[in-house]
Structure 1
Amino acid sequence: MVVRRGTAALSRIGRKHPFLFGVAVSAIKTSGSDVMAQKVVERREEVDLRRNLIFFTWGLLYLGGVQYFIYVHLFARRWFPDAMAFAAKGWRAKLADKAGQRTVVKQVLIDQFVHHPFILFPAFYQVKEVIEGGTVAAGWRKFRQHQVEDLKLCWSVWIPVFLVNFSFSPLWMRVPVVAVVSFGFTAALSCLRGAPET
C-alpha cells in the first residue's frame, strides 16, 4: 500500500514537472552510483568528494538536462513525432506497426552511434578533466584513448535498454528509465574512469 502510494506520488510529480524530475533523479542516481562504486566495489574507507562532484555534475547537467532535451524534445517531438503514439500501443499493435518499429530502431541508432560516441563520452571526459584541474583538450585526448573500450561497454548495455525504453516509455519516463538503468552502468564507468589519471 505504501509502495503503491509512493509510486503514484512519483508518477504525479514526473508528469507535472518532467524536466525537474528527470534532472533530480539523474543527479542523485549518478552521485549515488559513484558512492557505491567507491565504497562497495573499490572498498574505499572515505569517498573521494571531488570524484563524486564529477559524477553529480555529470548527472545534473548532462544526464538530466542535455539528455532530456535529446530524448524528449529532439527525438520524441521533432525528429520522430510518431514515437509516443507507438510507445502507447499494445503489444499486438506494436508487432503490426512496421513504421513504428523502424522509428524505434532509428532512435537507437542515432543515440548509440552518433550521440554517445560524438557528444556524450567526449562531454563526460571534458567535465571530468576540467573539475580535476585539466583542460578541455586533455579531456578530448582521454576520450580518444578510451573510446573503443567505453563504446563496447556502452553498446552492450544501452542498445537493448533503448530498444525497450523507446518502445514502451511514456515521454515523461524516458530520462528516469535511463537514470534507473544507468545506476549500474555509471558505477562501472566510475570504477573504470572515475579515478584521476596521470
Structure 2
Amino acid sequence: MGLWARYNKLLEAQPLLTKAFTSLIGFTAGDVLAQNFINEDGESYDVMRTIRLGSFGFLLHGTTGHYFYGFLDSKMPGTKPVTVASKVAIDQFFWNPIFGCMFFGYLNFTEGKSFEDYTKKLQSDLKTAVMGSWAVWIPAHTVNFAFIPPSQRLLYINTIQIGYNVFLSFLGNKKADDGEEKKE
C-alpha cells in the first residue's frame, strides 16, 4: 500500500488524530526552515521553539481546523462561487483573528510569559498576522473550498502552511516592540 493510500486510510479511521499529526509536521517543518535557512540574526537553533510550534500544530491547529472546517462544510456545502466566497470570507475575517489570538496565546503560555505580554503581542503583531494571512490564504482557500475534498482540506492547508509557518514562526518569536528581550 502506497503512502497516499495509507494516509487516506488513517484519515478515514482516525480523522482528528491524523489531521493533528499532519499539522504537527507542517508547523515543525515551517519552524525548521525558518531557523535553518532564513535566520537573519545568526542565532543558534532553538529546539524548544520548534517543539512549541510543532505542539501548537498538533494540539490546536489540527484539532480546531478539523472541527472548524467540518462545521463550515456542514453549514455551507458545495462549491458554487458564492459558497466558496462566503467560506473564504468567514475563514479570513472571523477565524483568522481567532487563530492569531490562539497562536500568540499558546506561544505566550508555553514560554511562561504574563497576560500583559500577551496583550502587548496582540497589539504589536495581530494586525500584521491577519493582513499577512490575506495575501496567502484568500487565494489558497479559494482553491481549497472550490476544488479540495473536505476530508483533504487540512492536508492541503498544511502543505501551504509549511511556507506560511516560516512567517508565523518569525512573527511569533520576534522580540516585543517595546524593547523587551524574548524569554527563552
TM-score (norm 2): 0.87
| Correspondence list, 1:64-143, <5 A | 64-72=62-70, 74-77=71-74, 79-80=75-76, 82-83=77-78, 86=79, 100-117=80-97, 119-143=98-122
Q: Distance in 2 between matches of 1:193 and 1:130?
A: 12
Q: Distance in 1 between matches of 2:51 and 2:58?
A: 10
1:181 aligns with 2:160: yes
Structure with the bigger percentage of helix? 1
| Correspondence list, 1:135-174, <5 A | 135-174=114-153
CA offset digits 1:45-101 (Å, max 9, x no partner): 7421221122012101221011111001x1012x21x23xx3xxxxxxxxxxxxx22
Q: Distance in 1 between matches of 2:129 and 2:43?
A: 27
Q: Secondary structure at the match of 2:93?
A: helix
Which residue of structure 2 aligns with residue 10 of structure 1? 7
Aligned length: 176
Which residue of structure 2 aligns with residue 41 of structure 1? 38
Q: CA deviation at 1:122?
A: 0.9
1:25 aligns with 2:14: no
Q: Distance in 2 between matches of 1:26 and 1:137?
A: 28
Q: Distance in 2 between matches of 1:66 and 1:136?
A: 23
Aligned Cα root-mean-square deviation (Å): 1.9
Kept in 1, the 8 Å contact 2:125–2:171? The answer is: no
Q: CA deviation at 1:130?
A: 1.1
> Which of 167, 170, 173 matches 1:191?
170
Range with greater deviation from structure 2 (107-116 or 186-195): 186-195
Gap regions ≥5 residues in structure 1: 87-99
Kept in 2, the 8 Å contact 1:129–1:139? The answer is: yes
Could you say which structure has the larger radius of gyration? 1
Closer, same or farther in 2 for the Cα pair 1:126/1:137, shift >3 Å? Answer: farther
Q: Distance in 2 between matches of 1:169 and 1:137?
A: 40
Kept in 2, the 8 Å contact 1:30–1:59? The answer is: yes
Kept in 1, the 8 Å contact 2:19–2:62? The answer is: yes
Q: CA deviation at 1:172?
A: 1.3
Q: Distance in 2 between matches of 1:114 and 1:164?
A: 19
Q: Distance in 1 between matches of 2:54 and 2:60?
A: 10
Q: Distance in 2 between matches of 1:172 and 1:136?
A: 36
